[in-house]
Amino acid sequence: MRRKTFTAFASVVMLLSLSAVAAVHNPDTALTGTVINVNHDLNYVSVRDDVTGRTFKIDTRGMKSHGSIDVWNLRAGDRVSATGDWSNNETFRAIHVTAPAPRALNRIANGLTGTVESVNRDLHYITLHDRSTGQLVKVDVRNMDERRSVNVWQLRPGELVTVNGAWTNNKSGTYRADFVNFETDAPMTSGTSSPNMVYGTVESVNRDLNYFTVRDNTTGQPVKIDVRDMDTRRSVNVWNLRTGDRVTVNGSWDHDRFKAEMVGF
């Protein structure tokens, strides 16, 4: 009996290990984006993620040279994909860094956009009203990358989201999500200036007084961004912003300050 129990336990451990390895090397969900800078001394590359618009550090210390490109020849603006796993919420530990992975690009490009109909936390899915077809779609979020997604359990009916992933092969009509993020009709990375938008470069952050300052790209003047009424679920964490980050702020003017509704990269 003891031998059988040990054998069964070993089989479970092996299956879990294989699952972890598959997740690490999954080209479907590779961190894909644009190189911002390369730091040879500290062994990392900064990449702006195609999915979230956020900038992540790719730690190259454990990268395998076989099957990877020479990252030290990369320049700002180059496009890459990295497979590996996360060290923390800001750093991705790379196993391989390659040219943009076609499968990852395909899953990002072929997203499903629609309005939230319902959320079922017990069964790990959300239901969307597909904007293209008008049909209801069940979205399986069990394997979703939470670091590159919104918190789906805080979604509300009527909110517009885009889901990147792929359809399952069964007949249930379920869409398996890799990432779930809010959709905006005017992309926050467009850089278009308007009375309801400020696009510029972060100069300072003041958490105590609930604002940060950006230099407006249009006027070249510093603008105080009031974030007290910001929708935190649809925005980046402004307290993690650094001097030099480029951001887009949607909101409205209130005398000499701009009241933010959403902040994105």
In the chain the first and final C-alpha atoms are separated, in Å, by 58
Phi, psi of 10 (to 5 degrees): -65, -35
pLDDT value at residue 129: 93
pTM comes to 0.62
The Cα 215–Cα 202 span in angstroms is 7
Structure tokens at 132: 């293209």
Average pLDDT, 10 consecutive residues per value, the chain (265 residues) = 49 42 70 91 92 89 94 92 92 95 87 93 95 91 92 90 87 85 53 63 92 83 90 88 89 82 88
Q: Which domains does the chain have, with CATH numbers?
A: 27-103 (2.40.50.140), 110-182 (2.40.50.140), 197-264 (2.40.50.320)
pLDDT value at residue 169: 77
Selection from 40, 124, 54, 108 nearest residue 86 by Cα: 54
pLDDT value at residue 239: 93
* Tokens 């076989």, located at residue: 66
